[in-house]
Amino acid sequence: MKNIFQIRSGHFLLILAVVAFLFGCTEEITGPDILADKDGPAVINYIRVTDPAASDSLLVGAFLGNLIAIVGDNLGDTRELWFNDQKALLNPTYVTDKSIIVNVPTTVPVVVTDEIKLVFSDGTELTYPFKINVPEPQISGIKSEYVPDGGTAIIYGDFFFEPMTVTFSGDVAGSIVSLSKTEVQVIVPEGATPGPIKISTNFGTQESGFLFRDNRNILLDFDTKLHETWTARIGYDDVPGVTPISGNFAYFQSESHGAWQWVNEMTMQYWAPRGRGDIPIATGLVSDLIFKMEVNVPVEWQSVRMEIFFSPSAEDHGRDAPGTAMARWQPWKDGPYTTDGWQTLAIPLSDFVYNKDDSDDNPTAKLDDVSNLANITIMLFGPADTSNPVLIAFDNVRVVPIN
């Protein structure tokens, strides 16, 4: 009964809209003229909303599914009504000589003419300018900013509709393999270079705020920019479950890693004096910067948090130094965690708020300035209820401007 009531309620609301429209337009539609036969050329005078209180609200376009009123003369013989290449569902009750009340189709047009077309019983047609207001594509993110040529990039957003083109920096277009309203999967073409991605549909073009293969301020790539060799191991094609995305990567691996286990192979320490020297990790305001790296977790990660922090240039990790502000990544809090390949981890520097002894619910630290920070440490260390196997790969450690 609930479904029947909902359907009937919808019909009732449509009838109310029609009745309100007709009674609100008595100066235009009167008595027997409503059902008059076509006795002259069909004409559309204007298109408006159906609310009589908004009778001066004329329309040049509408959104998918909107209820509109087409007002004119000699419209009663209309048999078909098209919005671009999409045919509307006509109810003969709401097709009169003076008006047609109809819902804009909910399907996005493929061929955009920016017109409505009326087709009459004798085959003649009448067109009228009218736009369907579909927003331009919106890009909100990408699963991984690093994907090799021939790999599949997964881009998130909204208003993704066919036909669509995805263009990478280097002015090369990728081949789309999967498309929904909020996600597109595309093969990265040869010749793609670091830079923004552009997505175009019939309704506009948007350029991504993020940079594909972002190569700004790479601090560690584990090819030429390296960490302390006695910490996290480096892999390439010898780590089961992990395929490289841009050369070597670092990784944590343990058969059983538990609470408060300080193990060299489960830390990644970069000491500036042995690396590029006393150079800050970035320049700019903390509020304008974000930490990023690509991560790959092929084995279920169940406990022990990842700590990420920076410290002044020294031959020391700096974890115990007063004022060290950490970020904690612990996605397993929602259940055992894997990534299904590489993905980009992004943590604003303003989220580096933990002192080493803080509880998760009570952070007390704050990262105010990066100008004196040159060392980087990433480690698996902290409380845990149980030990668990670990395999976490990471690459392209960087601090870049927030998009």
Q: pLDDT digits over 268-292, tens only? A: 999 999 998 999 999 999 999 999 9
The mean predicted confidence, pLDDT, of the chain is 91
Could you tell me which of 107, 61, 102 has the C-alpha nearest to residue 79?
Answer: 102
Identify the CATH class of 2-132.
mainly beta
Q: Decide if pLDDT at 35 tops 80.
A: no
- Does pLDDT of 82 surpass 90? yes
CATH 2.60.120.430 describes domain 218-401: yes
| Sheet strands side by side (includes 43-48) | 43-48, 67-73, 99-103
CB atoms within 10 A of CB 233: 18
d(CA 114, CA 57): 19
* pLDDT surpasses 80 at 351: yes
Q: What is the DSSP string of 358-382?
A: --TT---------TT--EEEEEE-S
Q: Identify the CATH assignment for 143-207 out of 3.40.50, 1.10.3470, 2.90.10, 2.60.40.
A: 2.60.40
Classify strands 99-103 and 67-73 as parallel, antiparallel or unpaired.
antiparallel
Domain ranges of the chain: 2-132, 143-207, 218-401
Backbone angles phi, psi at 149, to 5 degrees: -55, 135
In one-letter notation, the amino acid at residue 25 is C
Q: How confident is the model at residue 57 (pLDDT cuts 50, 70, 90)?
A: confident
Q: Do domains 2-132 and 143-207 have the same CATH topology?
A: yes
The DSSP H or E segment spanning 292 is strand 289-296
Q: Which residues contact 148 (CB under 8 A, 6 or more apart)?
A: 188, 245, 246
pLDDT in tens, 4-28: 333 333 444 444 454 444 444 433 4
pLDDT at 131 over 80: yes
